Structure formats: structure tokens, C-alpha cells
Structure 1
Amino acid sequence: MKTTIATLAATTLLTGMAFAGEHGGKMTIGITQNNVGVDSYQTTYEKAFIAAAEANEMVEAVVLDAGGDVARQIAQMEDLIQQEVDAIIIWPTNGEAVIPAVRKAKQADIPVIVTNSNIAEQGAEFVASFSGPDNITQGSRSAEIMCDKFKEMGIDGEAQVVHITGQPGYTTAIERAKGFEDRLPEVCPDVTVIDTQPGDWNREKSQKVMEAFLVKYDDIDGVYAGDDNMGVGALNAAKAAGREGIIFVGATNFAVGYEAMERGEYWGSIYQSPVDDAEAALQTAIDVLEGKDVPALNYFDTPKITQDNMGDFTKPVF
């Protein structure tokens, strides 16, 4: 998929031109996203990014979507390099596989901003800044949410948990899993994670994963899912099987998760706005081009949300 905001004819490219802050020229910023169609978070992110770019008269944006295909994303990176855009924002389909393309942009003196899900550590030297959530902290906070609930229920000495992760190889999935699995034994050392399987950010697949867990294990006290889309899939499986009393905790609070919390069926999650995510990525790219001091890891906060405090948060729009 390709959406171009402000047609980029070869004659309008800013080859060799100074950036907007110096000579009044426009900044051409390209973005290649992971997979807009996979979930409502990414769909909302794209809409917010386009709106923010259109609202800034100093920005011309080229908006691309890799459709979850690593090879397509690498080709999109190469296309943006050939267009000589001023900066590239990448939402990686795979944190390791995209590193050569990011390095190529760096060699072409095009700053790269990684958004939402970071690339693997060995690629950090080629990146101007990462803009997005601290996914390890999110996983850690999800573990704390679950542990606190188990302590409230008096089962923190024996509870058993299953874990549904995101897409294998995807940095967000890896980091959220690490944050959860590292933090849970620190706060609830007697809670056991009895199984872990990928749900690929997909509700239907996660429902099937949970169905298999329910057949395999008679005793499941908690489910941690890497996002609420997967968590609600797991919840649907438990409801269909008549298995009650399971504590569901996710990350990235989707509208379906928020609604399930309202019904008392889903305990907690991490509140993250795709609008904030998109706007932060664009602003980070602008700040880099304007020569501002931008941190290597430019995080925005993602607080805990549970049934107890959800009244403090507006329902997600995705």
C-alpha cells in the first residue's frame, strides 16, 4: 500500500537542500509501517500520522505499509533512499532483518527514526532515535498488575499462568515477554508460568492457542497476553469453555479490552495511545532534522489500567 501526501516529483526532492529550520524548505519524511491491516492500533496510528503530517505545512510525507512482509519493507526502505527523502521512520516488521536497510539509509546520510517497536540492539548505531513505548517496562507493569491481583485473591503462593506472545522475531513481542517473565518472579516468586505460545497479535489465533491451553491444563489462574487483542481472544476461548475465575492481563489497552474490563471479565492492561505514538514519531523526525537534541530512546509513558482505576482513562478509539 502506498499513500503519498503531497506528490513527490523528482523536481521537488530536497537533494542537497538544507532543512526547513534553515532555509524555509519543506521536510520530506517517509514512513514504512509494519502491517496496518493486522489490528486497529496500527490502523489508528496511520490515520493519526497522516493527520499530523497534513497539519504541518513544513512536512511532506510518503506513507508506506509493508503488510507484515520483511522483503517488502526492505524494498520500501530502498525506494525511500532512492527518493532521497530527508528522514525515514520505520516500524520494523522484524527487528533483525531490517538492519541492513537501516544501515544503508545511514550511509546515505538519511536519519532513521524507529517507531513503536525497536530494531535489534546491533542496529542501534544506525538509528537517530527510537520513538515509542518502553515495552520492557510494559511487560514488567503487566506482571505487577497480575501479581497484585493474585495477592488480593490469596493465590500468589500457587497460581499458574499461561503466556500468549506477539509475533516471533518482532521486538515488541520479545521485549514485552522479557519484561513480564523477568518481573513476575521478582514480585510473585511462587507463581509459575506453565506454558508460552505465540498469538501473532491475532485475536482468532490467540483464541485457538487458549483453547489448546484449556484442554492441556486443568488449572489456569492467569493469562498474560502481549496485547488486548490477543487477550480478548483468550478470554473468548475461556468463556466458550465455561472456565471461570481466570485473571486476564494484557498490554496496549484496546477498546475490546476496555469493554471487557467494564464487564468485569478482564482485569487489567497497559494504556497506550496510537495517536500519541504516531505524533511522537513524526515530531521526533522533525526534531532530528532541525538539529535538536533528541534522546536515543524517546519513550512516552504507558501507565497501568485495571478495573479499579479505569474511570481515570478514556476508552481507546482503536
Structure 2
Amino acid sequence: MKTTLTAVLVASTALVGTAMAESHGGKMTIGITQNNVGVDSYQTTYEKAFIAATEANDMVEAVVLDAGGDVARQIAQMEDLIQQEVDAIIIWPTNGEAVIPAVRKAHNAGIPVIVTNSNIAEQGFDFVASFSGPDNITQGSRSAEIMCDKFKDMGIENEARVVQISGQPGYTTAIERQKGFDDRLPEVCPNVTLVETQPGDWNREKSQQVMEAFLVKYDDIDGVYSGDDNMGVGALNAAKAAGREGIIFVGATNFAVGYEAMAAGEYWGSIYQSPVDDAEAALKTAIDVLNGEEVPFLNYFDTPKITQDNMGDYTKPVF
């Protein structure tokens, strides 16, 4: 993202926000269309936190929708929110490219769009007021660093072999976390071999099946990187069932099950990310835009490394 384009986007966002702040008379109607609330506990917790945050703000009325992982349904929900003439729309994209026409339509209708959690593809950036969420490329990079550091502690950084379980194909978060890991691992541990990557679709059971296939295919696996801890624990379960010990498991988005596995000494590390922070940041970004305040185009919140060594510094995730 070029600085000049970001500056233009921030400036145009401020103008739109000022106009909206004048038109809605102080009471804001904010619509949200989420990705797939039922798919995992992170998204369930996010929705609860978002609703709680809107109910705690007397100046906000919320229209809360869920696409159920269906791109066509999400596009229809965007159309519905545009027809309702809400003041702002928050979208958690089901697919970073497919939703761009609907986001453009909202933008052309004068409704600022805030993308939450997982960004849309770059060709849609002109139609977005702000992205609020984690820096997923940085998360993938940090996961690679966690794994490399552990391999160095074990003295296997020149021979270790790694498999990767990525998220849902076409989903921006999955693409970015894989890119961050793929790019960073050879920088910090150039002699580690990334043997194969397969998608786990954010699903624990599917990820367990993917790992079972890896274990049959490869006699030598030293590390597993998963795009989130839900998938990572699925991979861990497969290794435990097969009696394969000594594998280093690293994930991202530290779920409660990942935290518990770390406490048990079975899972090495992850990236700490709160769905409550995520939801509250998205709502605050939307409100700031509507109030005409200047917000960064990429409005990231921090997601630090967490391992067995420092997990006592972090509370157990609530999701």
C-alpha cells in the first residue's frame, strides 16, 4: 500500500465521515455482515463482543448479520444494508475478491465500509474507509520465528522438516498467514525444509485428517505450522493418536485449546489475538470514521508471540 494512496483514502474518508456525522443527527446505524459465526469459537466470541459493545453505546444502533461462510449470502446482505441506508457497514469478508463489487456498491452509495479481521484483495482498497484487525502477514512471520528459535534451541535448525496446514483457500487471512510464514522461515532458518502445505479450512477435524495423511506420507516431521490453533490442535491430536512424539507445533490466534495444550507441554507456541479486541476495534473504527476523525487505512492491533516460556504473562483465551 503506497503512502500517497493511503493519504488520499484517509482524506476522502474524513470528508465522507463528516457528511455522515451531520446526516445521522448523532445516532449511528452500523451494519455488520460477518464471515461464519458458527465455524469456530473465535467468531462466536467476536459476535458476542460486538453486540455487547453496541449495546453499551447509546449512540449506536446495530444491524448484525452472518453470512454463514456463503459468499452469495454475504453479497445479498451487503445489498440489504445498502437498501436500509445504514450509516456505515462493517464486513468480515467470506472471500477477499468476490465481495469487492458489493463493497464498491456501498462506497458508491456514500456508505463507508470498514473491513474487519481479514482484509479484501488490494484491488478493492479504493472502496474501503479502513481495515481494522490483525496484521496477518506479521503473524505468519512471527510464527516462523517461534518455530525457528525452537529448532535452534534443539540444535536441529540445519535439518528440520516442516509441514503446514493453512486456512480456507481464497480467504485473505489464510493467504496472508501462509505468505508471512513462507517468506520468513527461509530468512531465519534457511536450512529448514517446508515439505508440504495443505488446507485445513479452519476446521479441527479436517486438519486432523490432513495431519494423518502427512504422518503416513512422511516418516520425518519435526514441526507443524497451522494457520490457527484450532487446526493446530487437530494436527496435534493426529500425532498423539499415531504415537509420533517430538514434533514442534506452532499456530496463530491462540485459542483456549491451544493454550491448554501449551500448558500440558504438548504444543509449543502461537500468536496471541483477542476476538474481543478485534470486535471492539472494528466498532470504534466505524464510529471514528462516521465522526470524521482521521483513521489509518490499515488499523492494526498488536498480536504478540506466546510460547510455553512466556504464557504466564497472558490470560487464557475465552474462545
TM-score tier by shorter-chain length is over 0.9
Partner-residue secondary structure (3-state), 2:143: helix
Q: Structure 1 residue 298 and structure 2 residue 296: aligned?
A: no
Shift of 1:25: 3.0
Residues 83-129 of structure 1 show CA distances to partners (whole Å, capped at 9, x for unaligned) of 00000000000000000000000000000000000000000000000
Q: Residue type matched to 1:93 in 2?
A: T
**Which structure 2 residues correspond to residues 53-92 of structure 1 after superposition, within 5 A?**
53-92=54-93
Q: Residue type matched to 1:312 in 2?
A: D
TM-score of the aligned structures, taking structure 2 as reference length: 0.93
CA contact (8 A) 1:18 1:25 kept: no
User: Whole-Å Cα distance in 1 between the matches of residues 246 and 274 of structure 2?
Assistant: 29
Partner-residue secondary structure (3-state), 1:113: strand
User: Whole-Å Cα distance in 1 between the matches of residues 130 and 31 of structure 2?
Assistant: 15
> Identity percentage over the alignment?
89
CA contact (8 A) 1:137 1:179 kept: yes
Partner-residue secondary structure (3-state), 1:42: helix
User: Whole-Å Cα distance in 1 between the matches of residues 126 and 211 of structure 2?
Assistant: 39
Q: Residue type matched to 1:176 in 2?
A: R
User: Residue 6 of structure 1 corresponds to which residue in structure 2?
Assistant: none
**Which structure 2 residues correspond to residues 158-197 of structure 1 after superposition, within 5 A?**
158-197=159-198
User: Residue 128 of structure 2 corresponds to which residue in structure 1?
Assistant: 127
Unpaired segments ≥5 residues, structure 2:
1-17
CA contact (8 A) 1:34 1:92 kept: yes
User: Whole-Å Cα distance in 1 between the matches of residues 164 and 283 of structure 2?
Assistant: 33
User: Whole-Å Cα distance in 2 between the matches of residues 48 and 282 of structure 1?
Assistant: 10
Q: Residue type matched to 2:95 in 1?
A: N
Cα pair distance change 1:281/1:192, threshold 3 Å:
same
Partner-residue secondary structure (3-state), 1:37: helix
User: Residue 4 of structure 2 corresponds to which residue in structure 1?
Assistant: none
Residues 170-211 of structure 1 show CA distances to partners (whole Å, capped at 9, x for unaligned) of 000000000000000000000010010000000000000000
Cα pair distance change 1:228/1:35, threshold 3 Å:
same
Shift of 1:22: 7.9
Q: Residue type matched to 1:308 in 2?
A: D
CA contact (8 A) 1:258 1:315 kept: yes
Q: Structure 1 residue 51 and structure 2 residue 52: aligned?
A: yes
User: Whole-Å Cα distance in 2 between the matches of residues 310 and 123 of structure 1?
Assistant: 38
User: Whole-Å Cα distance in 1 between the matches of residues 192 and 19 of structure 2?
Assistant: 57
User: Residue 136 of structure 1 corresponds to which residue in structure 2?
Assistant: 137
User: Residue 279 of structure 1 corresponds to which residue in structure 2?
Assistant: 280
Shift of 1:261: 0.1
User: Residue 216 of structure 1 corresponds to which residue in structure 2?
Assistant: 217
CA contact (8 A) 1:19 1:26 kept: no
Q: Residue type matched to 2:279 in 1?
A: A
User: Residue 201 of structure 1 corresponds to which residue in structure 2?
Assistant: 202
Partner-residue secondary structure (3-state), 2:262: helix
User: Whole-Å Cα distance in 2 between the matches of residues 21 and 58 of structure 1?
Assistant: 14
Q: Structure 1 residue 254 and structure 2 residue 255: aligned?
A: yes
Residues 200-256 of structure 1 show CA distances to partners (whole Å, capped at 9, x for unaligned) of 000000000000000000000000000000000000000000000000000000000
Q: Structure 1 residue 96 and structure 2 residue 97: aligned?
A: yes
Shift of 1:23: 7.0
Partner-residue secondary structure (3-state), 1:315: coil
User: Whole-Å Cα distance in 1 between the matches of residues 21 and 241 of structure 2?
Assistant: 57
Q: Residue type matched to 2:205 in 1?
A: E
User: Residue 238 of structure 1 corresponds to which residue in structure 2?
Assistant: 239
CA contact (8 A) 1:228 1:256 kept: yes
TM-score of the aligned structures, taking structure 1 as reference length: 0.94
When you count helix as a share of all residues, which structure comes out higher? 2
CA contact (8 A) 1:166 1:226 kept: yes
Residues 57-106 of structure 1 show CA distances to partners (whole Å, capped at 9, x for unaligned) of 00000000000000000000000000000000000000000000000000
CA contact (8 A) 1:20 1:58 kept: no
If asked which structure has higher relative contact order (CA below 8 Å, sep 6+), I would say: 2
Q: Residue type matched to 2:233 in 1?
A: V
Unpaired segments ≥5 residues, structure 1:
1-16
User: Whole-Å Cα distance in 2 between the matches of residues 34 and 19 of structure 1?
Assistant: 26
User: Residue 11 of structure 1 corresponds to which residue in structure 2?
Assistant: none
User: Whole-Å Cα distance in 2 between the matches of residues 93 and 58 of structure 1?
Assistant: 29
User: Whole-Å Cα distance in 1 between the matches of residues 253 and 275 of structure 2?
Assistant: 9
Partner-residue secondary structure (3-state), 2:37: coil
- Structure 1 vs Structure 2 CA RMSD: 1.1
User: Residue 8 of structure 1 corresponds to which residue in structure 2?
Assistant: none
